Amino acid sequence: MLVFRRICRFLTALGFAVLCAARPAACASVQDIRLGARDGANVRVVIDLSEKVAFKTFALTNPDRVVIDLPSANFAVKERDLPKKDYLNGVRLGKTDPKTARVVLEFNRGVAIKRSFTLAPQSGFQWRLVVDLELMAKTDGLKQVTTEWYDNSVAEEKKPAAAPARQDKPLIVLDPGHGGKDPGAIGVSGVYEKHLTLAMAKQLRALLEKTGRYRVKLTRETDVFIALYARRRFARSVNADLFISVHADSIKKPQTRGLSVYTLSEKASDKEAEKLAESENKVDLIAGIDLSGETQEVTDILIDLARRETNNHSSFFAERLMDEIRKEITVLPNSHRFAGFAVLKSPDVPSVLIEMGYLSNKEEERLLRQAGYREKLAKATVRAIDVYFAQKHKANFN
């Protein structure tokens, strides 16, 4: 995956160069930059231009930034005149070379790029570049949401401030399923899936960080709703090396119990898997891949390479994961399954979805509420991650 990412970056750069070369020379002027929050999580950036230009958008972390490059453009607006927003640390204007204008928006929380496009002159406006963003929840100082059902006997130890993580460590994104207005499955005792998945993700993060071998990010830290496309886009925006979505299911057969792991398939492996994927995807009907800034040739190459490479890595990790988990807890027959889950559709991030068990089964729900049981599952997952990076990426953890 790391070698593949370098190939993708080369092809992306090549496509951008071809795109620029194909356009006639022009010198557009950036007349204004406007920002507006469409709701609590969505922000629209509008750049007023004197004429249409090529553009490139991408996200960076540490700190969280969105970068917009505009070849053959100059600024007619000053930094001091730009809007100030509570979700922004600031906006910077500059040049990457004499012909390319760069806009950098620095945010005080995680951010994902949803889409970007240009609008032709109309209604008194000149050309406009529109960039739609999704803000992650701001979690500084917030504590984990808990309920009376949780076994809190395993408390997190307070740690001294750690040194900044090495950027060459693999980055793992953990995705606690559901949240906010979407509770997920509801257990026989009334426990919500969204609370259990968050508790599990935090335990797994603590164990991964304790090894000192990985960097870890969560798609959500609290009880908030995040769209499915935003979860996978977040993983891509931070250049994740592995994406693990955590869930717990419920069905009409209370005697059924056992863990399973899913990897992506456009055709589900069985009717049960297909039905499950359909119910998950109803939360967010927007799916697909946004490569609007690339040429068609580069897009085709990237998607073809990414899908094959990513699917191979995802399946390899899923098999290692089940090897470790079945040593510890009950798993379903044919425990590695396939379905078209929306969160697994990143073309360049190996992704799996873990169904920890069935909340409709009284015993399994009772176990999933216990931190000690989740700890066994988390430790098995850490072992599988170690094997995955050691074998697939030749990582040396000595």
Tokens of 180: 């906010």
pLDDT, position 278 = 56
The residue range of the domain holding 280 is 171-392
- Whether residue 113 is found in the same domain as residue 186: no
- Whether residue 186 is found in the same domain as residue 73: no
pLDDT, position 113 = 82
pLDDT, position 293 = 52
Q: How do beta strands 215-218 and 171-176 pair? A: parallel
pLDDT, position 135 = 78
Whole-angstrom distance, CA of residue 313 vs CA of residue 387: 12
Query: At which of 74, 107, 135 does a domain end?
Result: 135
10 Å Cβ neighbour count for 256? 16
Residue-by-residue pLDDT tens, the chain, 398 positions = 454 555 555 544 444 444 334 444 457 889 999 988 765 678 889 999 999 888 998 888 778 889 999 988 899 998 888 878 888 888 999 998 888 899 999 988 877 788 888 888 887 788 999 998 887 755 432 223 232 333 333 333 334 444 444 567 999 999 999 998 889 999 998 899 999 999 999 999 999 999 999 999 999 999 888 888 889 889 988 989 999 999 998 888 999 999 999 998 766 555 555 555 555 554 433 233 444 555 556 555 556 666 777 888 999 999 999 999 999 888 998 889 888 887 887 777 899 999 999 999 999 999 999 989 999 999 999 999 999 999 876 655 55
pTM beyond cutoff 0.85 = no
pLDDT, position 287 = 30
* 289 domain-assigned: yes
Looking at the structure of the chain, the number of domains it has is 2
CATH classification of the domain holding 111: 2.60.40.3500
- Whether residue 125 is found in the same domain as residue 234: no
pLDDT, position 17 = 42
- Contacts of 152-156 with CB under 8 Å at 24 or more apart are 152/371, 153/371, 153/372, 154/203, 154/371, 154/372, 154/375, 156/202, 156/206
Whole-angstrom distance, CA of residue 370 vs CA of residue 368: 5
CATH classification of the domain holding 196: 3.40.630.40
- Whether residue 89 is found in the same domain as residue 188: no
10 Å Cβ neighbour count for 98? 6
pLDDT, position 344 = 84
